[in-house]
Amino acid sequence: MESLKTTISTGSAAHYVWGQGCDGWHLVRTNQLSVIEERMPPGTHEVPHHHPVARQFFYVLQGTLTMVMGEQATTVAAGTGIEINPGTIHQARNDA
Output the DSSP codes for 49-69: B--SS--EEEE-SSSEEEEEE
pTM for this structure? 0.87
pLDDT digits (tens, 9 = 90+) for 48-65: 999 999 999 999 999 999
Structural domain boundaries in the chain: 14-93
Reported as a single tens digit per residue, the pLDDT across 19-51 is 999 999 999 999 888 999 999 999 999 999 999
* Domain 14-93 homologous superfamily, CATH: Jelly Rolls (2.60.120.10)
> Going by C-beta distance under 8 Å and a sequence separation of 6 or more, which residues neighbour residue 60?
76, 77, 78, 79, 80, 81
